[in-house]
Amino acid sequence: MGLAAADIQRIEDLLKEKLNFARDLHAGDQFSVLVNDQYVEGEATGSSQILGVAIKTGRSEISAFQYSDGSYYDAKGHSLVRAFQRYPLAKQPRMSSRFNAYRKHPITGRVSPHNGTDFSVPIGTKVIAPGDGIVSLVTDHQFAGKYIVVEHGGKYRTRYLHLSKALVRKGQRVTRGQVIALSGNTGRSTGPHLHYEFHINGKPVDPLKADIPMSSKLANQDLRAFTNLVNSRQAMMNLG
């Protein structure tokens, strides 16, 4: 559509944590790019800057806007790099059992590692994806109950056990903050709670302590200016 190869490369690079351009795009998807070309006395210098990108694929919309600090953020002011929030719940929950490699199991009494963190939440509490990813499993298990697994790129994986209801299906793309399930008390469970696991390279880690890239957001004083900028650029891109 007249974009320079360098611009296409830049866009692919900007969104690489959000979108796999070889795999995720389908016929009918839409995109919009806002480019600022530099001219000197009517002559294009070949220097250009991408001010905004929006891609609509299926039901998800991915966007990036450049702020005055030179960095790109999504429309809500979150950084674009792969990042997580600490809890898969909207509010900081009460913890009932921590990650513990040597825990005595509360039901069997045997020492068996607790590979996750239990959050004490009433049945039906919204469980949210702590980062962008793709659902790799939705199933029912004798002990784990109804559970979901989400892959976040090749390195990170999260698991959610004892759910009452899954709100996603296998293969579905999810974004950070999206409600993916309702908590429950299914499987071998001593009471309503969410068992949450975070794996790095296939190994479970303590999600509350591990060195996990945390999501960063523009500070409040920048957010207002950024939101104004996004609104005017979206108007230029015929988005709304």
Which residues form the interface with Zn ion (CB under 5 A)?
Answer: 116, 118, 195
Which token pair is 103? 């825990």
The smaller minimum CB distance to Zn ion, of residues 21 and 143, is found at: 143
Give the residue at shortest CB distance from Zn ion.
195
The sign of the CA dihedral 90, 91, 96, 102 is positive
The smaller minimum CB distance to Zn ion, of residues 116 and 204, is found at: 116
Coil, strand, or helix at residue 217?
Answer: strand
The smaller minimum CB distance to Zn ion, of residues 11 and 166, is found at: 166
Query: Least distance in Å: CB of 105 to Zn ion?
Result: 10
Please tell me the distance from the alpha carbon of residue 226 to that of residue 64, in angstroms, as a whole number: 12
Query: Least distance in Å: CB of 114 to Zn ion?
Result: 6
Query: Least distance in Å: CB of 196 to Zn ion?
Result: 8
User: Environment class of residue 23 by beta-carbon count within 10 Å: exposed (0-12), middle (13-18) or buried (19+)?
Assistant: exposed
The smaller minimum CB distance to Zn ion, of residues 125 and 215, is found at: 125
Please tell me the distance from the alpha carbon of residue 186 to that of residue 114, in angstroms, as a whole number: 17
Query: Least distance in Å: CB of 137 to Zn ion?
Result: 17
Closest of 145, 146, 140 to residue 181, by C-alpha: 146
Query: Least distance in Å: CB of 138 to Zn ion?
Result: 19
Cα 121 to the center of its chain, rounded Å: 22
Please tell me the distance from the alpha carbon of residue 49 to that of residue 206, in angstroms, as a whole number: 41
The smaller minimum CB distance to Zn ion, of residues 153 and 187, is found at: 187
